[in-house]
Structures are given as C-alpha cells and as structure tokens.
C-alpha cells in the first residue's frame, strides 16, 4: 500500500530554521516525483514545487523560489521541505503528494496527512 | 505562468441534484505531442487530505464514483456531478500540469442546501 507519512505539527518563532519531512512507502520512492502544496489558513491550495528523488531534479514555483528548499534522501525514502528563516506568513498546512505514473496520467495520486506549521513570536 | 480561474467560488446544491464547476486556463492545456490535456480535478474534504478525482481532463481516478465526470478542451473545462450526495461536500480545485509552475484554481466550495 502506497503511503506518504509526514512529520508532526511544529510551532516555531520568526527567524527560526525548520525542516519537515515526508516518508514514502509501498512503492519505488526514487521513481516518482514528490510535490509540496501549501494551504494557508482559510485559503486555497498552492503548488510550491517538487523533486524527483532519483536524481534530485527540483522545480519551484516562482512564488516560493528562494524562500524554501526542497530536498530528498532516496536511501531513506524521505522528502524534505525546509525554511532557513521562518516568517509569520509561513503559518500554514503543508502537504506532500506523489505524482503518479504516466500510465495513470501522472497526476498527484497519493497525499500525506499534512503538517501544520505555526510561526508566532 | 498559466493562471487558472474557477467559477463559481461557492456552490450550494440540493442532494440528488446535479452540479457543475467551470475552470478556465490562461493558455491551452492541450499537448499536441501526446494528445493529452493536462488538467486535473481534486476534492479537498473538511479535515482530510486532498484527493484526486479526475486526471488528464476526463479520466476518473481509482475509486471515484461515476457520477463525477470531467470534460472540456483547450482552455475551458467542466467538472460535473450528476447527482450530488452529502459526502461530496468540500472544496473542488482544478489544476494544470502542462508546464511548471503547476497551478491550482482558487477552489469552489460545494455545500449542501
């Protein structure tokens, strides 16, 4: 069974570092893109970027380029989303999601449970 | 980048009645190289993670009831629910996957009357 399990909720202060994770299981982790999606309080879904764990090819939305870093450790089957200096505006629910196989349209077919990040002084 | 626009943003529906959500892209999502249209629909139910409903314009994802259907072409797309059920409540999003950055529409909140 394909699963994406995300790390737990975080409460941080502005300016702090944070790295959240998404562990994949039940499939060949290296062979599927992992994307990250943000949902700010009361708002819609925003596509942040994605990574191909097999070769670490990474793509970012311009809205998030330079603000976050997406990485992956294919040996551990974990993808990461990190901030070097958090802002209050980073308070949101973050989802990881797997881009499926081309045979099934390569849409985002599995999603993590979400990780709530709260940034407050 | 390709901008996605959904209408309506709020959709109250009586159970058993049909519902329709429109999505428009700022550029065609048709890829002539492979004949696919890179438009997907997702449903985000309250308290759950988003789930894939329709991929590549009109293909239902695994386990999705056949009352859901996707159609359209080029820049104009529609998600239809033939008979709304209480479990269909949530926010529906279209998303383009033709080129980076991928983008979602603003979302359409379906509620039961």
Q: What confidence tens digit (pLDDT) does each residue in A50-80 have? A: 999 999 999 999 999 999 999 999 999 999 9
Averaged pLDDT for residues A116-121: 97
Q: What is the pLDDT of residues B41-74, one digit of tens each?
A: 999 999 999 999 999 999 999 999 999 999 999 9
Q: What is the pLDDT of residues A73-106, one digit of tens each?
A: 999 999 999 999 999 999 999 999 999 988 777 8
Dihedral over alpha carbons B10, A61, A39, B65 (to 10 degrees): 60
Please, which pLDDT band fits residue A25 given cuts at 50, 70 and 90? Answer: very high
- Our CA-based measurement puts residue A46 at a distance from the nearest CA of chain B, in whole angstroms, of 6
Going by DSSP bridges, is the β-strand pair B39-44/B108-112 parallel, antiparallel, or unpaired? unpaired
Distant-in-sequence, close-in-space partners of B55: CB < 8 Å, separation ≥ 6: A100, A104, A105, A106, A107, A109, B40, B61
pLDDT of B24 over the 80 cut: yes
- Our CA-based measurement puts residue A86 at a distance from the nearest CA of chain B, in whole angstroms, of 23
Judging contacts by C-beta atoms under 8 Å, the chain B residues touching residue A59 are 100-101
The H or E element containing residue B89 is: none
Q: Which of residues 40-79 of B touch A (CB under 8 A)?
A: 40, 42, 44, 49-52, 55-56, 59, 61-62
- Positive or negative CA dihedral for A27, B61, B39, B9? negative
Q: Do B50 and A63 touch (CB under 8 A)?
A: no
What are the distances in angstroms from CA B76 to CA B5, B79, B92? 10, 11, 16
pLDDT of the residue at A105? 79
pLDDT of A26 over the 80 cut: yes
pLDDT of the residue at B103? 96
pLDDT of the residue at A1? 95
Q: Do A45 and B52 touch (CB under 8 A)?
A: no
- Residue-wise over B50-89: b if at least 16 C-beta within 10 A, else e? bbbbbbbbeebbeebeeebbbebeebebebebeebeeebe
Please give the DSSP secondary-structure letter assigned to residue A39.
E
- What is the C-alpha to C-alpha distance for residues B45 and B87, in angstroms, rounded to an integer? 9
Contact B9, B107 (CB under 8 A): yes
- Positive or negative CA dihedral for B86, B95, B3, A86? positive
Averaged pLDDT for residues B81-99: 97
Dihedral over alpha carbons A56, A60, A64, A66 (to 10 degrees): 60
């Amino acid at each position: 069974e394909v699963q994406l399990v995300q790390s737990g909720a975080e409460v941080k202060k502005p300016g702090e570092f944070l790295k959240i994770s998404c562990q994949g299981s039940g499939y060949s982790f290296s062979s599927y893109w992992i994307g990250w999606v943000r949902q700010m309080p009361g708002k819609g879904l925003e596509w942040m970027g994605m990574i191909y764990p097999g070769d670490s090819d990474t793509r970012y939305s311009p809205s998030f380029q330079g603000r976050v870093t997406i990485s992956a450790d294919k040996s551990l089957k974990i993808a990461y989303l990190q901030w070097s200096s958090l802002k209050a505006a980073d308070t949101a629910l973050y989802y990881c999601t797997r881009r499926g196989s081309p045979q099934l349209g390569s849409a985002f077919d599995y999603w993590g449970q979400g990780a709530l990040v709260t940034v407050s002084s | 980048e390709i901008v996605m626009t959904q209408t309506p943003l709020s959709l109250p529906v009586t159970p058993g009645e049909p519902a329709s959500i429109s999505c428009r892209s700022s550029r065609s999502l048709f890829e002539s190289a492979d004949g696919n249209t890179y438009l997907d629909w997702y449903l985000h139910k309250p308290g759950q993670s988003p789930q894939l409903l329709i991929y590549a314009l009109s293909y239902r994802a695994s386990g999705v009831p056949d009352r859901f259907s996707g159609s359209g072409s080029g820049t104009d797309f529609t998600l239809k629910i033939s008979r709304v059920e209480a479990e269909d409540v949530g926010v529906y999003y279209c998303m383009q996957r033709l080129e980076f950055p991928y983008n979602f529409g603003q979302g359409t909140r379906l509620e039961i009357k």
